[in-house]
A = this chain, B = another copy of it.
Amino acid sequence: MKTHKIAIMGFGTVGGGTYDILTENREYIRATRGLDIEVKTILDRSSAPLDARGIDKSVFCSDVDALAADSEISVVVETMGGVEPAKTFITKMLSSGKSVVTANKELLAKHWHELEPVAREHGAGLYFEASCVGGVPIIRAINESFQGDKVKSIYGIINGTTNYILSKMSAEGVGYAEALAAAQSLGYAEADPTSDVEGFDAAYKLSILASLAFHTCVPYGNIYREGITSVTASDIKHAKELGYAIKLLAIAKSGDDGVEARVHPCLVPIDHALSSVSGAFNAVYLNGDFVGDLMFYGAGAGAHPTGSAIVSDIVKALGGKHTYTDFQNTGKLSPDTKLIGDFTSGYYISLIVDDRPGVLSRISTMMGDLGISIKAATQGPDYEEKKGGANVVFLTHRAKEHAVMQAIEKIGTLAAVRKIESMIRVL
């Protein structure tokens, strides 16, 4: 049996997890897949992470050009993260005809259109199952299943950090700051959590998933994005009372009118399968015109789940039949694709108002006049900021985003309305 030699660039958590799988299950992969895979080279700035694992120094390399020149190596795993130097390194590998397996959603979302042509030109593969939803084979599914279906919608919980924070806020009634601190102490959130909590990470992934599913470029910069930092314990409590969980959803839809792509907190009905996806778990809920509803669920991150997806891509890359995107991968929204900004949604609106008769009915009337129909209105029980102040919560029926934003602006001008506390969309 031929031994396939590979390299890992960046030996942190995920690189280490990949190494674990390739070494611990090497015999198993030989026996079941007929492939013998050896990690010949680990590229990093220092050999410290190798030493920490007792890996022989002969495997260590710090010279990316030497790695690119090593003709024995056919597949290179990139688990460095970030844009540079990952982009430069990957480009070198692809240019030397090596297939690249990456977990780097940021790089891919930003520079896919530059990397793919290099791969094509040199007959190399570019694989990135691990970039979205950890060990869940969602990219394989989109690329290699339901080819007969037009994918109509994707609803994803695709960021583990925010899902952990929101789940903790819901389970324990704590506020955002406390839940974030807990996530940081457990290593689920980084010291600077911006990429996760502001929805950038989810937007990168949604850009990749939606582009593949809809066969058109959906650049991450065109995705409406709103993070979870302003979701309060009170919102979660109100939502729960109304029968909803609050989740950071990545939503993409495709229809006759165009494509819709957005990342924002969302009230999800508790009887919807996505509402019970808790903690660091992720899920993608997908609808195709013939296959109907499907859901893929699993660990969204972590050394071993992500490493599992990487190993799967290594096996695929070694198969040698590389495929590329079937659309014009330009990094810009395709000229023939219309992006829908004025989408339709339900809305949860929480207001602080004067606590006197008639206020709720005046607001309801104003919303009705603006064409927004109210599904439920409740008096929040727990707001006592000022004497005489009261918290009212509205749930609207589905309405156009722009109309609701205008209505909220008008409501804010009412004398009896002290503050617009929250506006969260409803699935």
Q: How many residues of A contact B (CB 8 A)?
A: 52
Contact A297–B299 (Cβ < 8 Å): no
Q: Interface segment, A17-25, A179-187, A385-393? A: A17-25
0/1 string, A308-334, CB within 8 A of B gives 1: 110110011000010000100000000
Asked whether A273 and B297 contact (CB < 8 A) given A22-B148, A147-B311, A312-B145, the answer is: yes
Asked whether A295 and B293 contact (CB < 8 A) given A308-B146, A312-B148, the answer is: no
Contact A144–B140 (Cβ < 8 Å): yes
Contact B276–A304 (Cβ < 8 Å): no
The CA-CA distance from A302 to B291 in the complex, in Å, is 9
The CA-CA distance from A337 to B286 in the complex, in Å, is 38
Contact A25–B305 (Cβ < 8 Å): no
Contact B297–A297 (Cβ < 8 Å): yes
Asked whether A292 and B298 contact (CB < 8 A) given A25-B148, A147-B315, A148-B307, the answer is: yes
Further 6 A-B residue pairs, CB within 8 A, beyond A21-B149, A295-B298: A29-B148, A141-B141, A290-B308, A291-B308, A292-B298, A294-B298
CB-CB under 8 A from A147, the residues of chain B are: 29, 32-33, 311-312, 315
Smallest CB gap from A319: residue in B: B321
Asked whether A304 and B292 contact (CB < 8 A) given A297-B297, A311-B147, the answer is: yes
The CA-CA distance from A126 to B322 in the complex, in Å, is 23
- Check A296 for interface membership: any CB of B closer than 8 A: yes
Smallest CB gap from A315: residue in B: B147
Smallest CB gap from A271: residue in B: B276
The CA-CA distance from A268 to B288 in the complex, in Å, is 29
- Check A241 for interface membership: any CB of B closer than 8 A: no
- Check A136 for interface membership: any CB of B closer than 8 A: yes
Contact A305–B290 (Cβ < 8 Å): yes
CB-CB under 8 A from A21, the residues of chain B are: 148-149, 290
Task: Give 12 pairs: A residue, B residue, CB < 8 Å, sorted on A.
Answer: A21-B148, A29-B148, A140-B140, A140-B141, A144-B316, A148-B312, A288-B308, A290-B305, A292-B305, A294-B296, A294-B297, A295-B296
CB < 8 Å: which of B31, B137, B294, B302 contacts A136? Answer: B294
CB-CB under 8 A from A309, the residues of chain B are: 145-146, 291
CB-CB under 8 A from A141, the residues of chain B are: 137, 140-141
Contact B291–A144 (Cβ < 8 Å): no
Interface residues of A in 217-253 (CB under 8 A from B): none
| Most chain B C-beta atoms within 10 Å of own C-beta, residue among A150, A292, A315 | A292
- Check A28 for interface membership: any CB of B closer than 8 A: yes
Q: How far is the CB of A93 from chain B (nearest CB, A)?
A: 21
Q: How far is the CB of A142 from chain B (nearest CB, A)?
A: 10
- Check A215 for interface membership: any CB of B closer than 8 A: yes
- Check A34 for interface membership: any CB of B closer than 8 A: yes
Q: How far is the CB of A336 from chain B (nearest CB, A)?
A: 12
CB < 8 Å: which of B135, B145, B293 contacts A291? Answer: B135
Contact B291–A305 (Cβ < 8 Å): yes
- Check A289 for interface membership: any CB of B closer than 8 A: yes
The CA-CA distance from A273 to B281 in the complex, in Å, is 12
CB < 8 Å: which of B29, B271, B290 contacts A304? Answer: B290
The CA-CA distance from A148 to B294 in the complex, in Å, is 25
CB < 8 Å: which of B276, B311, B315 contacts A276? Answer: B276
Contact A290–B307 (Cβ < 8 Å): yes
CB-CB under 8 A from A22, the residues of chain B are: 148
The CA-CA distance from A31 to B336 in the complex, in Å, is 14
Contact A308–B149 (Cβ < 8 Å): yes
Contact A293–B299 (Cβ < 8 Å): yes
